[in-house]
Structure 1
Amino acid sequence: MTEPTDIRCTAGVLAQLVDLAAAARNPGAEPLENELQRFSRLVQDSPTTAWVMPLDAVAALLDDLAEETRTDAFAARPRIFRSRLAHAAGNEPVDAFLRSLAEILRAPWFAACPDIRELPLAPWEARARFSLLDSFASLTAAGESPQEVVAMDHPDCHGRIAALAGELQRVLYMFPGAGALDAAFARVMPAVTHARLRLLLDAVHAHFAEHH
């Protein structure tokens, strides 16, 4: 059984960063700097996330883990986490690698992230940002009507449906043209298209107007 102290190594921000860094070592993968900039963009685009876990706090967690790698406590961390971290570090000592990540996150230039037009969405970032969007668009792509999928949560529409409305509005604002939106999501979320999002948004508005 996983100990409670291992949660930060199996879920959450440290586990996500280690996974991104490890994946960047794979042949043909994008540079780690690109993935870190996507991570920074994701954190800063959400006022709630930026308040709960600012980049300086993430850097402090990395420094703390770097210190721990030199102690017996690190050996008790999940083996798969330690293996992923070693892969991410490559030929660099693990503690030095973690400190280098922390330095990047603290660097003043790092806060100026490229927008999605400059640095396209990666699959993991799309899932983190627009999971509801993908779920509902996939249902409509499978043949469900937008009205049916929007009505699924009724009468508790203040939760997922209200959040879905926000995701729909945000994406349609970010990519005002059908071509740009479809191109941005074709690789990461094929079910997400401009036409489907417009139909879903119309269904949300109609549902709220009629029932709420």
Structure 2
Amino acid sequence: MALYPEGMFTTGPIAHLVGLAAGGSDPLEWEVLRFGRVTRTDYWDPAWRVTPQHLASQLDYLSTVFSEEFLDTCPEADRRTWRAAAGAQGVPAFMTELATLLRLADRQQDATYEDVPLAAWEVWARFPLLLSLDGWAYDGEYASYEESLRAFVEGEHPDCSYEVMPRLNQALAARTLCAESAAFAASFRVLAPQATPEALAVLTRTTLTHLTEHHA
């Protein structure tokens, strides 16, 4: 049976953070705090969901067993990413540094959007279904955006749990955060331009009406 242990270096949340460290313009501390905002567990999440503390332990282990020979088994692009992220300190020391940042971030409250601005990758991670809200508004096919959205929701019925309800959840979360934080609202308008307050209001109203009429 084929084994692919190099996946520890090439996929998943650790590889995502390493990519940000290697190619991002913001401090690694900010990216770790953003990661904490995205992955913060709530009381309804399973206890085994991946958390910063768990990833820190993985990094601790990887730092103790690391070898250049093993890293050389990874694709060239991933080797370059890890080495760029590590810099002069080397990969094992970088793993320890990243583990420390993850643990520190996990011990504090989520960073505010005033302190650590919303990043594009956060929007893609948390609000992917809000990035193409005009996909149903074909020119001339519907009298209004609300009518086009209603047609989309009705077309998804009865499988509303697949996309309709997740989109409603994302819309409600975005509206709540916009109301709570002016910094979030300003960044969200730039990073998700189609998810205007008006579009989110129509999405919320239309979806809740459908759920009340057909799923109550």
Shorter-chain TM range is 0.7 to 0.9
Q: Which amino acid aligns with 2:96?
A: R
Structure 2 CA distance for partners of 1:97 and 1:187, relative to 1, 3 Å: same
Secondary structure of the residue aligned to 1:90 is helix
Displacement, 1:10? 2.9
Residue correspondence of structure 1 range 1-212 to structure 2 within 5 A:
4-24=4-24, 29-44=25-40, 48=45, 51-70=48-67, 72-107=69-104, 111-135=108-132, 137-139=133-135, 145-176=148-179, 183-212=186-215
The alignment yields a C-alpha RMSD, in angstroms, of: 2.8
Cα distance in 2 for partners of 1:93, 1:8 equals 17
1:6 Cα offset (Å): 3.2
- Structure 1 residue ranges without an equivalent (≥5): none
Q: Is the 8 A contact 1:9 1:77 kept in 2?
A: yes
**1:183/1:49 Cα in 2 relative to 1: closer, same or farther (>3 Å)?**
farther
Deviation at 1:141, TM superposition (A): 6.7
Give the percent of matched residue pairs that are identical in Structure 1 and Structure 2: 30
TM-score normalised to structure 1 length: 0.83
Question: 5+ residue gaps in structure 2?
Answer: 140-144
Cα drift, residue 13 of structure 1 = 1.1
1:96–1:142 distance in 2 versus 1, CA, 3 Å: farther
Alpha-carbon distance in structure 2 between the residues aligned to 1:49 and 1:20: 27
TM-score normalised by the chain length of structure 2: 0.82
C-alpha distance 22-3 of structure 1, shift in aligned 2 (>3 A): farther
| Paired residues of 2:36 and 2:52 also in contact (CA < 8 A) | yes
* Aligned mates of 2:28, 2:184 — CA distance in 1: 25
Higher Rg: 2
Does the 8 Å CA contact 2:6/2:71 hold for their aligned counterparts?
no
User: What does the per-residue CA deviation read over 1:173-195, in whole Å, with 9 as the maximum and x for residues that have no partner?
Assistant: 22228x87752312211111111
